[in-house]
Structure 1
Amino acid sequence: MPRRYAMPPTVDLPDRTWPARTIGAAPRWLSTDLRDGNQSLVTPMSPDRKLAMFHLLVEMGFTEIEVGFPVASQDDHDFLRMLIEEDLIPDDVRISVLVQARDELIRQTVESLAGARMATVHLYNATSPQFRRMVFGLSRSECKDLAVQGTRLFMKYADRTLADCDLGFQYSPEMFADTELDFSLEVCEAVMDVWQPGPGRPITLNFPTTVERNTPNVFADQIEWLDRNLSRREHVCLSVHPHNDRGTGVASAEMAVLAGAQRIEGCLFGNGERAGNVCLVTLALNLLTHGVDPGLDLTDLNRIRRTVEWCNEMPVHPRHPYGGDMVFTAFSGSHQDAIKKGFDVRARALAQGADPERLRWDIPYLPLDPHDVGRTYESVVRINSQSGKGGVAYVLSSRQGLELPRDLRIEFAGTVQAAADERGCEIEPEEVGRLFFDEYASPRFVTVPVAFRKPVPTTLHVQGDAFAVGASRADALGDLEDHLASWGMQVHEVHRIGVSAADSRRNDVVVYAELLIGQRRVWGMGADDDLDGAARAAVRAAITRALQLGAPRSDPMPWSCKRAG
């Protein structure tokens, strides 16, 4: 089977410079959602959906929007006329329309723009050997003449109809990525000879990977070769239109920018024919994560995605970069633990006065702060049978404001994993909280224990701003130790638990009591307005659990208990 396919040609460019460059500024963006995206839908957008998409693109900051192919359908023509006649196009937005290099189609397209303040006509014809030979039966010379004649016709009709319009011109050698480089250059130069770009009269030359067939580095070589060889380069906007047939549309676009491209055409969330156009959301947020302002407003990405899904009547995949439901979610225990620790480090820095707008985002597994695109931290960590102590701790910290000691995190993670295994599904954050409180904080039916054989070694882990461990013990701590001693508890250690950002919503003191009964460690949790009340509640909860779990046979329970009620 491999013998039926051939490696596409590469570019002889041994002194290429694009691999050593970085992207320091955003390119110009053109959204083709209303044209290329719309024509690929099973059910093309209705007028109200088209208008919703147009308004969304304007709100996001797009100033170049391809609104349709007015001679391809009456719907596209009517939508264009509605935008113009109802004055729905902002003054800073340039609309664009597509047309083939054919006389009657060019005339009708130009006429459809009557009354527009600022517009671009995008002329194209296919130039690849495959299309010249199989589809049109044209020689190279005849193919070039189509582009040249189309440009002349556009200029003729525009002079008659669009004298008051700030009119731009764009030409695409369709199937560029499959066209001989020298021929692409020859056709573009012939088009420019007619258009005569110069000061105040630019031209956009657009080079599409109409069907992506080669690796992104080859496309970058093609663009750098053109960047070097196009004449009148200062008056040319070098644009690219990558498709995603090989799954590398984003890489092709980024490498093309490194190679000299100044403008990118694509769709939100990669809609388009076959495997789609390049995703402008991904490209823009890739720039943001490198500290480059993309020039698009993506601060409410959920709303953007919902609008796109409604307009296209097609869902965005949950794993789609940045916009998918699950892209900020970790199930793996090791990932969750790293994320939890990263947030802890950030919380400490903020608590010490770091400016949140200047503090570098540096969280494992999260290249982008979800808050920057309007997402919350609620779904960053989700719990299933693959989750570990870090994920469980993160959920309790973010939802309940609880900072568990490490050994308790490990123990409770086992409880959560057992519940997830038993249910065979994800454990919701609220259920994690219920599991914890049911296991470690209730029911509290134990009152004062009696008949101790020996003191029970006890460690208290205290979480709360109202308590600090120092060289000299506070009176409250001494009173607490005396009180617990009357219960047969011997306090060996008191630890201060680190405080996370989530703790700011807890005004109480939380104590985790760790009792050593023989060889068994038993935990309980308590919360109260003061240290004494929280510690006693935690010890009661631990004793309750010890009774429920049963003492080891070699070390019978050293006390009897009275039950409340």
Structure 2
Amino acid sequence: MDANKVQIFDTTLRDGEQVPGCKIDAKQKLVIAERLDLLGVDIIEAGFPVSSPGDFTSVNEIAKLVKNATVCGLTRAVEKDIEVAAKALKPAVRGRIHTGIGTSESHIKYKFKTTREEVIRRAKKAVSYAKNFVDDVEFYAEDAGRTENEFLAKVCEEAIKSGATVLNIPDTTGYCLPEEYSAKIKFLKENVKGIDSVILSCHCHNDLGLATANSIAGAIAGARQIECTINGIGERAGNTALEEVVMILKQHPYLNLQTDINTKLLYDTSLMVREKMGMPVQPNKAIVGANAFAHSSGIHQDGVIKNRETYEIMNPEDVGVTESAIVLTARSGRAALAYRAKKIGYELTKIQLDKAYQTFLQFADKQKEVIDDDIHVIMKQVSRISKIAIA
């Protein structure tokens, strides 16, 4: 594997599906899995096979369908979970079992009511057992974000000895600051024997709005897999958004980190997931929101019309958006009106534009947005009142 390649582990169909209100059936999961494979993700976490017969079937069918990506199934550190996941993944060209256990004091004391020693024993046993079924075993240290670094390093070292190929360091509760998460990855890189033989993975949640920042910080510190979802969907406030980390790495080439994602499919994939899962995206969502490449301020519009790069750091076509949107509101200027008018066939002189703009402002003050049909009406009014012909 290229040392600068960051693998994209998509968990839309597992962690993303856990969103309250998400509506998706097995057939829709297959459609999304096929698109994720086309998008270029490296690993598709297809589900949690032991959780229900339906999830087992979905993982099994996805394992049959996907030809390029590794297909992954989640388990607890329980032999039955691992056996069921292995059975579901059997048809996969490349299968991975993702097993693990909570490692924070909170999980050890309240969730498992056990000891650190027992957690290490169960972690080793789970990884070793999973290796009987697949070569590729990912170990997750749940709530690693709140786990004391020395103990986390000890657990990771034992997981490597037991055969883990990937170590997942989740900020399960979205608590870490980027500096803290980066330092945690760096600590593991420097203090775990055998760490260079495995891939470190970032799995960050967005409870404080830091999932993407933490994942990027982790990758800069040496992690080479990012676990994410389309549109950032996931439990509570969601997961790291795939489209965000991919475009951050693409737009900052000096980081010398890259993915194999076909970015021109990002917007269309986002729309597909919204539709299939019944999960809308807020208009101001980075990269794929309706307003991500829309401009309504006159100052911004004038700059973008003159040169797109004045207010856009990405070419919308790079993510599959046709073009930037110049939205006409009461905050828009003459340049924006002339631009939109030209788009629908009106070449305005300066005198015509000055007349049209005054009428435009009257429209804009009455409604939130002036659309193309309104522009036609404005041009007719100006032509009739001022006796200035507007072709």
Instruction: Classify the secondary structure of the residue corresponding to 2:234.
Output: coil
Q: In 2, Cα distance between the equivalents of 1:274 and 1:147?
A: 26
The counterpart of 2:160, out of the listed 192, 208, 215, is: 192
Task: Indicate how the Cα distance of structure 1 residues 439 and 301 shifts in structure 2: closer, same or farther if over 3 A, else same.
Answer: farther
Q: In 2, Cα distance between the equivalents of 1:207 and 1:279?
A: 17
Corresponding residue for 2:150? 182
Q: In 2, Cα distance between the equivalents of 1:207 and 1:293?
A: 20
Shift of 1:80: 2.1
Task: Indicate how the Cα distance of structure 1 residues 224 and 413 shifts in structure 2: closer, same or farther if over 3 A, else same.
Answer: farther
* Cα deviation 1:375-400 (Å, max 9, x = unaligned): 233x6111112222232122123333
Instruction: Classify the secondary structure of the residue corresponding to 1:320.
Output: coil
Shift of 1:437: 4.8
Q: In 2, Cα distance between the equivalents of 1:152 and 1:302?
A: 40
Corresponding residue for 1:206? 168
Q: In 1, Cα distance between the equivalents of 2:348 and 2:42?
A: 48
The counterpart of 2:210, out of the listed 231, 236, 248, is: 248
Alignment of structure 1 residues 46-85 onto 2, 5 Å: 46-84=25-63
1:220 paired with 2:175, answer: no
1:372 paired with 2:318, answer: yes
From the CA coordinates, give the structure whose radius of gyration is larger: 1
The counterpart of 1:42, out of the listed 16, 21, 26, is: 21
Corresponding residue for 1:418? 362
Identity %: 26
- Structure 2 residue runs without a partner (length 5+): none
Corresponding residue for 2:229? 267
1:332 paired with 2:332, answer: no
Q: In 2, Cα distance between the equivalents of 1:376 and 1:108?
A: 44
* Cα deviation 1:174-212 (Å, max 9, x = unaligned): 0000100000100111122222x7xxxxx1001011001
Instruction: Classify the secondary structure of the residue corresponding to 2:122.
Output: helix
Checking the alignment, whether the CA contact within 8 Å between 2:57 and 2:88 is kept in structure 1 is: no
Structure 1 letter corresponding to 2:311:
Y
Q: In 2, Cα distance between the equivalents of 1:83 and 1:411?
A: 61
Checking the alignment, whether the CA contact within 8 Å between 1:213 and 1:245 is kept in structure 2 is: yes
Checking the alignment, whether the CA contact within 8 Å between 2:34 and 2:66 is kept in structure 1 is: no
Q: In 2, Cα distance between the equivalents of 1:368 and 1:397?
A: 24
1:392 paired with 2:329, answer: no
Q: In 1, Cα distance between the equivalents of 2:96 and 2:265?
A: 30
Task: Indicate how the Cα distance of structure 1 residues 248 and 431 shifts in structure 2: closer, same or farther if over 3 A, else same.
Answer: same
Instruction: Classify the secondary structure of the residue corresponding to 2:222.
Output: coil
Give the number of the structure with larger relative contact order, counting CA–CA contacts within 8 Å between residues 6 or more apart: 2
Cα root mean square deviation, aligned: 2.3
Checking the alignment, whether the CA contact within 8 Å between 2:138 and 2:167 is kept in structure 1 is: yes
Structure 2 letter corresponding to 1:37:
G
Instruction: Classify the secondary structure of the residue corresponding to 2:81.
Output: helix
Higher helix share: 2
Corresponding residue for 1:427? 370
Which aligned segments of 4 or more residues in structure 1 are displaced greater than 6 angstroms? Answer: none
Corresponding residue for 1:141? 117
1:383 paired with 2:359, answer: no
Q: What is the TM-score with the length of structure 1 in the denominator?
A: 0.64
Q: In 1, Cα distance between the equivalents of 2:87 and 2:122?
A: 21
Q: In 1, Cα distance between the equivalents of 2:125 and 2:266?
A: 44
Checking the alignment, whether the CA contact within 8 Å between 2:326 and 2:340 is kept in structure 1 is: yes
Task: Indicate how the Cα distance of structure 1 residues 258 and 302 shifts in structure 2: closer, same or farther if over 3 A, else same.
Answer: closer
The counterpart of 1:322, out of the listed 276, 280, 287, is: 287
* Cα deviation 1:433-482 (Å, max 9, x = unaligned): 44135414x5897xxxxxxxxxxxxxxxxxxxxxxxxxxxxxxxxxxxxx
Checking the alignment, whether the CA contact within 8 Å between 1:224 and 1:259 is kept in structure 2 is: yes
Task: Indicate how the Cα distance of structure 1 residues 81 and 301 shifts in structure 2: closer, same or farther if over 3 A, else same.
Answer: closer
Q: In 1, Cα distance between the equivalents of 2:362 and 2:232?
A: 40
